[in-house]
């Protein structure tokens, strides 16, 4: 018997619940980052959120005509979110991430408190809605230490950080041993389209990867063309992963084993943090994730070879990275087949509470769907 997660049944009519299995360890972290990425993409075209962000700038005395810095605008958004919300831990045994419009009370349903994930998402979505270059920053501090997700903004050649779980202002200078800057757009605007999305206010357009309305001079005004939603993933696989692997091959053939391992690890990291999520976000994650998650697991083994300098380790690294490339190619092929056949983009059947860790999502109806995820597992440390 399938049961709903506790409390979700009481959600109002304008919200709907979504339940998915949540992976443990690094897979779960990746899944959470991908979820934040997807939710931010949806939130950026929410007219209520865009209006809220514009009001936040106006109240901070920013009218845009004097070309304010990105950092100054980002600080105004961060302060506005903090002023309107409080920090509260997640429900017991749960990680809960809610949509920005819920956190900021922009429509009928209001929950003005969250932990770092939800507060981070409200800041990120608001910044994207007014065109600021904001990013998901995943930081690692070493073995046994909880990973952390921060908000990052780029202002010219400078990187700024904001921690939603504190009252600290934006700051420069990373405090992590390693970090990845993840573009929440994930290639949107080039996946399945020749340029950015066109949204006309009144009824926001939903991103449909397989059929895109374009102004196409060859086919006529407003013609509908069917494009490959995995075109950008294919290009990035070649440019970011395969090219780096080829560099590793050159070092291996000249007996520069340490350099070869470094190149292979860089290739694997590019695949795991950029190409894999990009593939899954193209529209058919239920079909592509078995491949991309397999590549993610292999990348963990590849990363463990860091610091090695011997030939055997270099050859093992080479095997790992080319196996990952094969996994990504399989994922792309599966997604392309589904795209051509017009298969629905579902994420699998709900898991039963009590049998496995579960993700519970609460999505708001409408063009810019909100979402909340609950991860029913032993509670993590505050991030």
d(CA 151, CA 126): 12
CB 277 within 8 A of CB 186: yes
268 and 172 together in one domain: no
Instruction: Find the helix or strand (DSSP H, E) in which 374 lies.
Output: strand 373-375
Mean pLDDT of 340-358: 38
22 plus 71 within the same structural domain: yes
Q: What percent of the chain has pLDDT over 90?
A: 38
Q: Residue 194: pLDDT band by 50, 70, 90 thresholds?
A: very low
Alpha helix stretches (DSSP H) within 224-271: 231-236, 243-253, 257-270
Domain that holds residue 23: 16-188+356-375
Q: pLDDT class for 116, splitting at 50, 70, 90?
A: confident
Residues 66 and 166 in one domain: yes
User: Are 357 and 225 in contact, with CB atoms under 8 Å apart?
Assistant: no
State residue 334's pLDDT score.
87
Terminal-residue alpha carbon distance, the chain:
35
pLDDT of residue 341: 67
Confidence of residue 74 (pLDDT cuts 50, 70, 90): very high
pTM of the predicted protein model:
0.51
Q: For residue 323, give every residue at least 6 positions away whose Cβ sits within 8 Å of its Cβ, in sequence order, or none.
A: 295, 298
Window from 178-187, 319-328, 346-355 with minimum mean pLDDT: 346-355
Structural domain contains residue 9:
no
CATH code, 46: 3.10.620
- Give the pLDDT score at 156: 85
141-184 pLDDT, tens digit per residue, is 777 666 778 899 999 889 999 988 888 899 988 777 888 898 88
Give me the percent of the chain exceeding a pLDDT of 70: 70
Domain presence at residue 196: no
Tell whether 216 is covered by a domain.
Answer: no
C-alpha triplet 114, 29, 136: angle, nearest 5°: 65
Residue pair 272/296 in contact by the 8 Å Cβ criterion: yes
pLDDT band at 139 (very low <50, low <70, confident <90, very high): confident
Cα dihedral 329, 333, 334, 337 in deg (nearest 10):
170
Please, what is the average pLDDT of the chain?
75
For tokens 């979110």, name the residue. Answer: 81
Instruction: Name the pairing type of β-strands 113-114 and 86-87.
Output: parallel
Asked if residue 213 is part of any domain, the answer here is no
249 in a structural domain: yes
Residues 6+ apart with CB under 8 A from 135: 151, 152, 153, 154, 181, 182, 183, 184
Pairing state between β 134-140 and 178-182:
antiparallel
**Rounded CA separation 294/324 (Å):** 8
8-state DSSP, 220: B
Within this chain, do residues 148 and 259 fall inside the same structural domain, yes or no?
A: no
**Per-residue pLDDT, 352:** 27
Tokens 């950080």 correspond to 161
Which letter does DSSP use for residue 201 in this model? T
249-308 pLDDT, tens digit per residue, is 989 999 999 999 999 999 999 999 889 998 988 878 888 989 999 999 999 999 999 999
Is residue 246 located within the same domain as residue 178? no
pLDDT digit string, tens, across residues 207-235: 333 333 333 334 333 333 335 788 888 88
Confidence class of residue 19 from pLDDT cuts 50, 70 and 90? low
Do 35 and 184 fall within a single domain? yes
Q: Which of 272, 269, 289 is nearest to 281 (CA)?
A: 289
Distance in angstroms (rounded) separating the CA atoms of residues 352 and 309: 47
pLDDT at 80 over 70: yes
* Closest C-alpha to 165, from 128, 116, 205: 116
316 and 361 share one domain:
no
pLDDT at 98: 87
Structure tokens at 168: 């600290």
Q: Assess if residue 194 is contained within a domain.
A: no
Q: Are residues 147 and 21 in the same domain?
A: yes
Single out the residue of 284, 264, 288, 266 nearest to residue 276, CA to CA.
288
Measured distance CA(283)–CA(345) in Å, rounded: 6
pLDDT of residue 237: 92
Tell me how far apart the alpha carbons of residues 68 and 64 are, in angstroms, rounded to a whole number.
Answer: 6
- Specify whether 272 is located in the same domain as 362: no
Residues 181, 127 share a domain: yes
Q: How many domains does the chain have?
A: 2
Is 223 domain-assigned?
no
Q: Please give the pLDDT value at position 322.
A: 94
Q: Is residue 155 domain-resident?
A: yes
Same domain? 233 vs 124:
no
Tell me what the mean pLDDT of segment 115-139 comes to. 91
Q: Residue 11 has what pLDDT?
A: 52
DSSP state at residue 227 = -
Cβ burial, residue 234 (10 Å; 0-12/13-18/19+): middle
Residues 270 and 371 occupy one common structural domain: no
Strand, coil or helix: 87? strand
pLDDT in tens, 26-72: 676 777 788 888 889 989 999 999 999 999 999 999 998 889 999 99
Residue 54's pLDDT is what? 96
Residues 6+ apart with CB under 8 A from 359: 18, 19, 20, 21, 22, 31, 35, 373, 374, 375, 376
pLDDT at position 206 over 50: no
């Amino acid at each position: 018997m399938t049961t709903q997660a506790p409390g979700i049944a009481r959600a109002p009519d304008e919200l709907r619940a979504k339940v998915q299995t949540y992976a443990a360890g690094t897979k779960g972290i990746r899944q959470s980052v991908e979820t934040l990425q997807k939710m931010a993409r949806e939130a950026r075209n929410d007219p209520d959120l865009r209006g809220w962000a514009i009001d936040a700038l106006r109240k901070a005395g920013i009218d845009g005509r004097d070309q304010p810095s990105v950092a100054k605008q980002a600080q105004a958004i961060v302060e506005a979110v903090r002023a309107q919300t409080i920090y509260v831990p997640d429900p017991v045994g749960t990680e809960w991430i809610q949509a920005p419009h819920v956190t900021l009370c922009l429509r009928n349903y209001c929950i003005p408190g969250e932990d770092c994930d939800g507060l981070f998402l409200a800041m990120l979505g608001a910044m994207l809605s007014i065109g600021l270059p904001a990013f998901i920053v995943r930081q690692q501090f070493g073995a046994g230490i909880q990973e952390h997700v921060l908000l990052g903004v780029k202002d010219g050649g400078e990187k700024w950080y904001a921690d939603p779980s504190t009252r600290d202002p934006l700051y420069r200078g990373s405090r992590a041993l390693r970090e990845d800057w993840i573009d929440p757009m994930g290639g949107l605007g080039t996946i399945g389209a020749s340029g950015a999305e066109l949204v006309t206010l009144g009824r926001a357009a939903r991103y449909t990867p397989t059929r895109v309305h374009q102004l196409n001079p060859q086919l006529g005004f407003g013609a509908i063309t069917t494009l490959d939603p995995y075109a950008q993933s294919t290009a990035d696989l070649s440019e970011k992963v395969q090219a780096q692997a080829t560099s590793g091959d050159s070092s291996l053939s000249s007996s520069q084993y340490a350099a070869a391992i470094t190149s292979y690890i860089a290739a694997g990291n590019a695949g795991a943090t950029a190409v894999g999520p990009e593939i899954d976000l193209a529209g058919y994650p239920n079909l592509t994730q078995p491949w991309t998650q397999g590549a993610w697991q292999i990348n963990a083994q590849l990363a463990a070879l860091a610091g090695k300098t011997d030939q055997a380790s270099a050859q093992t690294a080479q095997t790992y990275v080319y196996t990952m490339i094969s996994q990504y190619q399989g994922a792309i092929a599966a997604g392309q087949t589904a795209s051509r056949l017009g298969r629905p983009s579902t994420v699998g059947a709900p898991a039963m509470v009590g049998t496995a860790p579960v993700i519970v999502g609460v999505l708001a109806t409408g063009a810019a769907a909100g979402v909340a995820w609950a991860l029913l597992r032993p509670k993590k440390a505050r991030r």
